[in-house]
Amino acid sequence: MNMNVRIPQPDRCIACATCVAVCPVAQNCPDFPGPRMMGPARQRFRLMGMGEDEASHYCANCKNCDIACPGDVPVSAFIMRAKAEICKKNFPKLRDWILAHGEVLAHCLRFIPAVFKNFGMTFAPARLLLDAIGIARKASLPNFAPQAFRARLARLAQPNLSRAVVFFPGCFVDTYEPESGLDIVAVLNRAGYKVIVPGTTDDSGAFVCCGLPMVANGFWQDARDNARRNLKTLAAWAAKGMPILTACPSCALMIGKDYAEYFPALIAPGQSSSLVDVCDFLIGCVERGELALPAAPQKVETVFYHAPCHSRALGIGLPGLDLLREIPGIQAEYADSGCCGISGSYGFKKDKYPIAMRVGAPLFEAMRQSGATLCASECGTCRVQMRHGGGKQTVHPVSVLRRYLG
């Protein structure tokens, strides 16, 4: 007899209310009925054909409910499916389309110089226009980089190395923060790995956006299309036995866990669609002696570290923090202040901006209290929010490492 009884959804929920206790949105937005009500409880009524509750748009998909659930209920997945159903029935907002399709948008705008694009993001009348379609005027939107990460990497001469890794850059690094990506490439080169970004450093099929922003905004089919493309590319590289790294915990979570949850039919039997967290990989490099760390400098610098919720959800500990702690001369201070509030594009929305700022308040306060001048976090939009709310320079942990490697 099977002892590990596989209890189907939504039967695993026993209404213990733990998810309600940890949900940052429910804490800061009384109109959100909370993860249990919107997820497994609601699911029983969905099966009765009772339609969706509009309040699901309040869910930020931060996944704290999934992390806290003692019964492995895929709480956030229920709510994401609900969003998709609503999106199918009602014509979605232009704003949501834009935020869900940052990659497509960036591609369309690629011939417009970044200066103009960024001017549009700061220029007051332009912000009024964005405000009119529902993007918060106060939110600090990330700046378009003059040249995308992939374009810069294509021109970068990497040393000739025998070992190689594949890198999934993710939209944020590619469009807004190529420097983080280049830092990662430099450190990996230093550890003896050439970095392959499919379609950039070679002419194989390129990765596309992981699809998480699409799911979070209700564009289920678009996310599914992207998932299919990425899975194909991933399978080809995995067949070559090549580690596939990413620096973005949300991409890692989407591809490594949520693809199977959302689109089980796309996963071939036996296929593992895993991305390796770059910090986790680098710790391995240090342990294997592939990456030598410099001797401790005279002056010890404190770095304030915030763990993105999606990093915590990966179930692999906090490799970003562990990596910082490996670096001689770095004193890593762990924020432990919960969610930053941004949740991808959530905090940019006009109606969600105040919620996001309330959610992030404890983190911002911790940043202000900290003596550190430099902060670190793996997630791109977390970094945007930390700079916006906490007012301090914030980088990817690997960028900190690169500075120390020189």
Partner 1 sequence: MQQTRIVVIGGGATGIGILRDLSMRGVPAVLLEQGGLANGTSSRFHGLLHSGARYAASDLHAACECIEENTILRRIGRHCVEEFEGLFVLTREDDPAYVAPWLAACARAGIITEEISVEEARAREPALAPDIRQVFRVPDAGVDGFRLVWHNAESARRYGGEVRTYHKVTGIESVNGKITGLTVCNTLNRESYPLACEYIVNAAGPWSGEIARLAGQRVDITPDRGTLLAFNHRFTSHIVNRLHKSADGDIFVPHGSITILGTTSAQAKNPADTTPTPEEVLRLLSLGEKLFPDVWEYRILRVFAGNRPLYTPPDHDAGRGASRNFVIVDHEQDGLAGFASIFGGKLTTYRLMAEKMTDLVCAKLGVATPCRTAGIPLAAQPARATLERAGRRLPAHGARLVAERLGDQFPKIVNAPEQDSGADLLCECEMVTRAEVELVAADPTTHFLHDIRFRTRLGMGTCQGTCCSLRAVGVLSKSGVAFAADPRTALRTFLQERWRGLRPVLWGAQAQKCEFNRALYGATLNLNGADDEAD
Partner 2 sequence: MLVVGSGMAGLIAAITAASRGKSVRLAARGAGHLAVGNGCVDVLGYVDGEIVRGNPVDSISRLSGDHPYRRIGAETVAESLAFFARLCAENGFDLAGGNGENQWIPTALGSFKPTWFYTPAMNRETLSMADRIVITHMPWLKDCHADMVKACLARQRRLMSKDMYIEETAPFRAHRNLTPLAAARFVDTEAGERWLLSQLLQCLQRSSSGRRTAVLLPPILGVTRSAEIRARLSEALDADLIEMASPPPGVGGLRIRRTLLRAAAGVGVTVMENAHVVEARVQGQRCVSLVCDATGGEREVKADSFIIATGGFLNGGLVAAPGGKVCEAIFGHALPAPERTEDWTMPDMLDSQPYAKLGVQTNTRLNPITPEGDALPDNVYFAGRTLAGYDFVNEKSGMGVAIATGYHAGMNC
Binding site for partner 2 (CB under 8 A): 1-5, 14, 16-18, 20-22, 27, 30, 33-34, 37, 66-72, 252-253, 255-257, 272-276, 312-318, 321-322, 334, 336
CB of 394 to partner 2, least distance (A): 21
Is residue 49 close enough to count as binding partner 1 by CB under 8 A?
A: yes
Strand order in the sheet with 163-168: 193-196, 163-168, 244-246, 276-277
- Smallest gap from Cβ 109 to partner 2, in A, equals 32
**From partner 2, partner 1, none, interface partner of 397 (C-beta below 5 to 8 A by class):** none
Task: Compose the 8-37 pattern: x for residues touching partner 1 by CB under 8 A, - for all others.
Answer: x-xxxxxxxx---------------x--xx
Selected from 35, 60, 63, 71, the binder of partner 1 by CB under 8 A is 71
d(CA 205, CA 168): 12
Q: Burial code of 271-295, b = ≥16 C-beta within 10 A, e = fewer?
A: eebebbbbbbbbbebbeeeebeeee
- Residue 393's φ and ψ, nearest 5 degrees, are -60, 130
Region for 218 from its dihedrals, namely left if φ exceeds 0, alpha if ψ lies in -120 to 50, beta otherwise: left
Shortest separation between residue 370's beta carbon and partner 1, angstroms: 38
Task: Name which of 1 and 265 has its Cβ closer to partner 2.
Answer: 1
* Per CB under 8 A, 41 contacts partner 1: yes
8 binding partner (options partner 2, partner 1, none; Cβ < 5 to 8 Å by kind) = partner 1
Could you tell me the smallest distance in angstroms from the CB atom of residue 313 to partner 1? 22
Q: 294 touches which of partner 1, partner 2, none (CB within 5 to 8 A by kind)?
A: none
Instruction: Tell which one of 24, 35, 40, 341 touches partner 1 (CB under 8 A).
Output: 40
Closest CB to partner 1 among 70 and 146? Answer: 70
3-state secondary structure 121-182: HHCHHHHHHHHHHCECCCCCCCCCCCCCHHHHHHHCCCCCCCEEEEEECHHHHHHCCHHHHH
In angstroms, what CA-CA distances link 251 with 72, 183, 278, 319?
A: 21, 18, 12, 16
CA distance 336 to 402: 24
Question: CB under 5 to 8 A by kind: which of partner 2, partner 1, none does 276 bind?
Answer: partner 2
| Contact of residue 365 among partner 2, partner 1, none (CB under 5-8 Å per partner type) | none
Contact 215, 223 (CB under 8 A): yes
Indicate which of partner 1, partner 2, none lies near residue 18 (CB less than 5 to 8 Å, by partner kind): partner 2
Between CA 167 and CA 302 the distance in angstroms is 29
Nearer to partner 2 by C-beta: 178 or 243?
243
Residue 57 contacts residue 83 (beta carbons within 8 Å): yes
Distance from C-alpha of 381 to C-alpha of 227, rounded to nearest angstrom: 21
| Sites of contact with partner 1 (CB under 8 A) | 5-8, 10-17, 33, 36-37, 40-41, 43-45, 47-54, 71
